[in-house]
Structure 1
């Protein structure tokens, strides 16, 4: 057993828990930075006289930047290291939020949101991988699920911060708060965030042995005289076409379909819920409350998924979250006329949609070898952002065309059903691969007359 496998088979040390908590904090700030516009969007629209379609463009701008960051920047984590790229993403995110806080027109704010989105795209791919690699085998599913709660917690904090700062100081104060908090977290990461041991072993950068030994010492494991042997077939280069070789082709396509549908529904609901509640006749404060409750439900949903993963297979659980979320969206559409019922259902919608995304974050890193995980997840994140970008845009144009909020929630229940189907097919593929990987039965003496 290699030293990395020994670490993953042992109980988690305080240093490992610290690394996971730091990743959670970073993901929380990602959620705040990315979804802050959802809460301050109505105020920006009033100040600058934006149309619903323009607001849709603004809400999608961060997601478009996220797609760029995940596609073109996140794969660098498999080359330069998870730690280095994560810190770069934090620095970029802080700059984007601070720029948004001083923007004077729609174009400036749009550019700032693109930069922030690119930073979030980098960390959306690297943080779940880094956290899962520092978790032990027993807690990996729970850790990745907890990391995913960062988006929900960040959105909750964004909603609360908006309610506290918007009246006295205006919407720019929300972005300023996010920029300062991200800069502080960058400083903490620079001091305390370790590099991935899997990266050091599989990529073997300069000084890898010394860096690995420092990490081993910090987590209470014996140091080694040489790097463990690499996995069979591993290499220093990770080609994108490796995701489509052999049996990986269908698996990768299904991952993309599942992730795209999850992002489509999640970012429609998370971006537009406060505004659509206003359109349905609720007050500004009630709209903010709906957005916060959606995010709180997401946190509970992700934690519940993490706890259930020790009892239920991850593919089945994620498919179930997808299926029930479609039902919840339809139910939400028929309760918008009642404040109490709508707010209660908003919790369940957030619970299920966040759980679906979290489940996919748990599944995807297990499908690929260590040297390709960030590349695979980064490209999946990038592809999925096509749905994430188009969903707020489509909702804005539908609203401007006269569609009722109720109808839009029903329309976006369809992608949730598609995501459930893709996840079920991923489960079947995993089961087939498991059967193929079983060792052949021992040879027995052939019966007389048989061809040996």
Structure 2
């Protein structure tokens, strides 16, 4: 069964588009897994103040704990995307959900700082393997003209998962309550794996491409063959720089707000508004990419990131910090969802898992560097405002790469 709607093309004309019931099932289940991934990704940041007290962590050690999970995302994304082009997106997504669910629960049982770092690295491998498959499944489930919207609908689950992490953190009493976040974040994916097995359809585009191809192309050909080299480098630079900013905020925002004098409840509300803004930004900016000229949307998106970061660095009180965090989430998280959709458009179906996985992996280097760099700046005595402001030049580099990328030719399928 299909439902028909209209989509505005970049030149203002109207094109028909149909969303099948299998696409609805795919987007719904992918959204749910993204929600749980977002919960886990932000769980360490929410739990950090209480974890630091229990383990006696320094600021630099907290930065290492934040980056441990994102470091695991790098090999997870690379191998998860490559494996998806061989055995299918659905199978790799199920395996990844099992890994990050089990390891999230294991985080709650960590009793030392080395054990915490080790388990977060392993958790990151599962989280990294899931993301390129969520992107590929979402983009391949809908017609070409709706891909930005589809990926954005899926990706909006990640910041909304952060809202759940913040709420669980606010409701968990006592210093030992930080473990509850990881129990919730681990049980969810494990409960969803049977639903993925029963109801998630494999990508039809992947099945067709797998039937045509004798074997997957070498990685070097996927990334740099057939005039894709320039597009690949621009995707990598935009991912790398944008994720430096995003993961710095995801991990350090609660601690930075506490350093600005906010209480635990106020910090929780700032984090919630950051993630609500991110969910709304992912939805609306993705939809605009399917309806307006891409260069205009991307330009406005990065102007919004810079303005919101500047506001966040100078906001004088709780209300202003909350509003600034909302818009920072809207543009930073919304902007990253657009980049994920763009990366899927530049690689053919038979190569999409590998191409997107490599881009996510390179971006994860930025997601490791962001929290570490912020931790080092804070350890040197820099203020929260200086640390936030330092991310603005990085954003300008990401904007330049993304604006050049938007002019490049896309893949035909």
SS at match of 1:38: helix
SS at match of 1:103: coil
Matched, 1:144 2:151: yes
Cα separation, 2, equivalents of 1:239 and 1:314: 31
Q: How does 1:48-127 map to 2 (within 5 A)?
A: 48-127=55-134
Cα separation, 2, equivalents of 1:280 and 1:288: 14
- In structure 2, the gaps of 5 or more residues are 1-14
Q: Residues 246 and 18 (structure 1 numbering): CA distance in 2 closer, same or farther, change over 3 Å?
A: closer
Name 1:3's counterpart in structure 2: none
Name 1:417's counterpart in structure 2: 396
Quote the offset at 1:235 in angstroms.
Answer: 5.0
SS at match of 1:11: strand
How does the TM-score come out when normalised to structure 2?
A: 0.92
Name 2:10's counterpart in structure 1: none
Q: How does 1:327-346 map to 2 (within 5 A)?
A: 327-335=307-315, 337-346=316-325
Q: Residues 168 and 271 (structure 1 numbering): CA distance in 2 closer, same or farther, change over 3 Å?
A: closer
Q: Is residue 314–residue 362 contact of structure 1 (8 Å, CA) maintained in 2?
A: no
Q: Residues 200 and 380 (structure 1 numbering): CA distance in 2 closer, same or farther, change over 3 Å?
A: same
Quote the offset at 1:133 in angstroms.
Answer: 0.9
Q: How does 1:433-452 map to 2 (within 5 A)?
A: none
Matched, 1:189 2:196: yes
Q: Is residue 202–residue 235 contact of structure 1 (8 Å, CA) maintained in 2?
A: no
Quote the offset at 1:334 in angstroms.
Answer: 0.8
Name 1:317's counterpart in structure 2: 297
Name 1:350's counterpart in structure 2: 329
Name 2:171's counterpart in structure 1: 164
1:39-86, CA deviations, whole angstroms, 9 ceiling, x for partnerless residues? 001110011110011000011111001112012333110011101100
Matched, 1:397 2:404: no
Quote the offset at 1:329 in angstroms.
Answer: 0.6
Name 2:220's counterpart in structure 1: 241
Q: Is residue 81–residue 355 contact of structure 2 (8 Å, CA) maintained in 1?
A: no
Quote the offset at 1:93 in angstroms.
Answer: 0.8
2:258 counterpart (269, 278, 285): 278
- In structure 1, the gaps of 5 or more residues are 1-7, 205-229, 438-452
Q: Residues 315 and 125 (structure 1 numbering): CA distance in 2 closer, same or farther, change over 3 Å?
A: farther
Range that drifts further, 12-21 or 297-306: 12-21
Greater Rg over alpha carbons, structure: 1
SS at match of 1:428: coil
Q: Is residue 318–residue 360 contact of structure 1 (8 Å, CA) maintained in 2?
A: no
Matched, 1:260 2:267: no
Number of matched residues?
397
